Structure 1
Amino acid sequence: MKRSIPTLFVAFLGFLNIISCTKDDPISKGFITPGTSQSISLEAGAASSEFVFSTNSNWTARASESWLSVSPSSGGAGENIKLKVSAGENTQYETRSATVTISAGEATLTLTVQQASKKGFEISQASFSIGKDGGNVNIPVKANVSYTCTVSESAKSWLSVTQLKSLTDYTIVLSASKNETYDARTGTVTIAYENQTSTITVTQSQNEEIIVTQKEFEINSKGGELRIPVTTNIEYECSVMDGAQEWITISQSQTRGLEEYSIVLQVAENVGYTGRVGQIKVTGVGKESFITIIQGGNIRITDLGDDFYLHSSGRVIATHYKGRNNDDLLRLIYSKFEDEFDFAFYVYEDDSYFIGGGYSTLMNNIKGIGREIEGNSIYNHNLYAEKLFGTILFGGYQEFNPEIIKHELCHTWANYLRSTYQLIGEQEHEIFAHWGFSDVNGMLGGFDKKTFTANIEGNPKWYHAPNINYSETWDAQGATMGIEDKTYAPLELYLMGLISAEEVPDVTFYSGLSNIPDSRFSLADGYFAAEKSETWSIEDIIERFGAREPAYPNTQKEFRILTVILTKEAREIQDTEWELVDNMLLKMSYAGKDDDNSSLNFWEATLGKATLKVDELDKILK
């Protein structure tokens, strides 16, 4: 008994020691130390990547999505443990994301995994029909690549591509001429990208006695009843073509001939965010006609608070300016969005607040352009908008156009080099921020030196600039007429940081302006007299103001835009208003040559050297 007591006592002390150790045991809490990046990017094909980590405890790993797997899924403590993260081929045309959570004791570590989208395009409908009178055929295409569209040789005489946009969800528009024959005809259109091709078949009906005066109808996303007038001298039947039977139904179809009737359709609500196209076929005694129904996508508006609303496209927000100045608007905007914007576009509902377009500068961080380095705090717009160069105002939807957008954006960098001169009527005016009577020939004015002529009638002080003859009087802001199809001038591109100094030619400025005292040479036709001409080289500019810093090519090439529709009072924005602004942003941000030959987008105007980013506002909400 005397020996057993110490033994029990020692065991009891050991038990207490175990309890004490367990209470503060770091292994039970665990730690995980990453050895590689916690962000993993995978290619679109079947792909895998390794993540390395260390831990002092048993661990498990699990993926948040079924398309993603991890191996091994569990293990013991160790250093430089390799976890294989794998995904099968992404067959979708959108990037997909998932997470992997590693747990060790109480510790967790999350990996983010992104797999690239499949490159290519997707067509939901492979055959289309059109009546004998011809018209447009709309082919919806979903794509994330630049594709080609080719009409078959045998159909080129009657079928052509009139509208094509790639690198986005869009509708290819085919135009078919009238079929004067009594035989149906078929053509094909091949859409191709690398090894992927799809063939669309277009069938046009023959000359017929079924008369449908309107063959294309549009209806909004809410759907509803649609009446289609038909005049015919034969009995006819109606049917909904494949691809549209789930959302278009025929509730009334007359079958007697020699009279006018209405086909009544019921169109279901489109809950998706993209539009859709369906067709109704009207047939009788071997004759047929096709009616196209175009339904818009569902517009979803997100309430951001404070009467701010975000459009589902992610490109436009809307609010009102009642009782709010620019400071108020910026404060509210930056309470909702991260400081990611270079410019804010204010699109007013009409010109009652502002007329035309205007640039309001907030900040300059560029040397060598004639401006001082200035932070937003100087303008009392401090703290919340450090990146914002300025706001651009558009006095009504009609002013929100390519010409004014490109012009006002240019004021971020020009003209701060010198004052210039403008002849208005009989009076010379000194002007600022524009090129005036010069041969800069850019977004802020000036002549085209290729067509500019000196020494009119043998007088060395008489000149002719025929490219600016759009008005009886010169524009007071610096001869800026007719710029919608211009590219930025070399001097402007240099100041914007998009070309080197060596690429800028000499420019000449004219002053001492007056009208030529000869009725044959009017100012309205571009004729003027000047007592003085002064030529500046790029070396002169650098000597006066210093070289541009930052210098090309280490300069900003993409500019992020926030676009705001502003109304006088808080009210609901109509679909047409959203669409008008959204479509303009799509055009101006398109990184390539578009089909609108009447005006150039920003990428075209900068000779493919810069772009505007206008979308994904929802991704930078606070």
Structure 2
Amino acid sequence: MKLNIHLIIAILWSAVFLLSACSDDPENGQPEVPVLTFDKDQQLVFETAGGQADVHFTSTAAWTAEVDQDWCSVTPARGDATSSVVTLTVTANETPDERNATLILKSGTTTARMTFVQKQKDALTVTSNRVEVGAEGGEVTVEVKANIAFDCEVDEAAAEWLSAVQTRSMTSTQLRFTAAANESFDKREGKIVIRSGELSETVTVYQAGEQPGVMLTQDEYTVGSEGGIVAVELRSNVPFQMRMLDDVAWLSEAVTRSFSTYTRRFEVAPNEDYDYRSARVAFFNEELGLADTVTITQVQKNAILVAQEEYTVDALGGTLDFSVNTNVDFQVSLSAEWIRQAASTRGLAEVPLRFVIDTNPGLEPREAVISFTAGELSQSVKVIQPGRQDKGWLRIVHTNRTFSIPSITGSYFNYGHISWGDGQEEVYQEEAVHTYQTEGSHTVSVELLGAEEVSLPNLVGVTDLDLTQF
């Protein structure tokens, strides 16, 4: 039995020796495994614009080359052991993201891979180039999409009311700005510039005006006897309607393709009469109680045209400006020495004129006439100047919770200012009423110009009435 075991072991060792000899024999028909390696220190990073780069490697047998992305290519696609370089070609990267691909070399059962990278296209955009904010002001948020650091700045023209909460270099997608309250009637706008190198985006911030209003840029127009088109310009931050206040056939709205919301055009028919005519057009917002009225005046045929025939000027004097529309030469004459023409002006069509008004030293008003003549044609403008007006005061002490201002009149009364005695003030208006928040004694002071009479229909609650400076 022992003999048989030793014999078996000897046979097994012989078989192992024979197999080992066969595997080490190059002529036994088994192929060699190819060697395929990239040269060291080849880390390829392509710029955004793309380009080409050579890749060096070593191969002991024939090989093939390919890439796994369609935005790049490799040449040549195959070779033998005598060649050891391929060229990678990369197209421009138009995306905001970095991208990568793999070069794959194969030789027999051997595979070698090398990954290369292409930089992203720098991107800087905003989700909206327009931001609106109310008249009360507040915080404004601008959303930015960027893959690079950037800075932002507010246009110098808006720096007084629009400011950035954060101004240092940033990559945050939410930028915050503060808009101050707009205390004026006019809306305003400011620009925010977001910049990184040669890239920039501009966001415009629009802020509404404080008070709603409907206002005409000009409240009277004069048209020649031949008629024509009158363009009426408005300024409004609320919706408005239009209404003809006078039912006339010679004035109608002209609707054109280039119609603008804030420009209304009216067609005026020729005037064949010898008398001038006028019509009024109202623009209003009934819900808010806002309105303004324009007067369109058309003079008679062959006339010297002035917008109005009477002007009242300040007692302190100054200048009087108005335009004369005419189709003839004319002369200017004055009926008083205290009014004189500032410059000699003659011409056709619309002629701007200016007159200098001296101060009225007396208390009584005075009048003068400016006459325009051309042959048998004539036109005149009356100038009325009130007398000197001294300031007066009216003081009333009362204990009422609600108080109505007295009626104040006068031939030359033209201004009043009310201080209600609790910190509230307003311009004098007839039948003005004020309600107090607390009980007690209140002193009402009224500043007056040109007042002559005061009437208190009810003295209930009045404890003192001071007319010494009235």
TM-score class, shorter: 0.3 to 0.5
Which structure features the higher share of strand residues? 2
The TM-score, its normalising length taken from structure 2, stands at 0.37
Bigger radius of gyration among the two: 2
TM-score, normalised via structure 1 length: 0.28
Q: Which has the higher contact order (CA 8 A, sep 6+)?
A: 1
Structure showing the higher helix proportion among its residues: 1
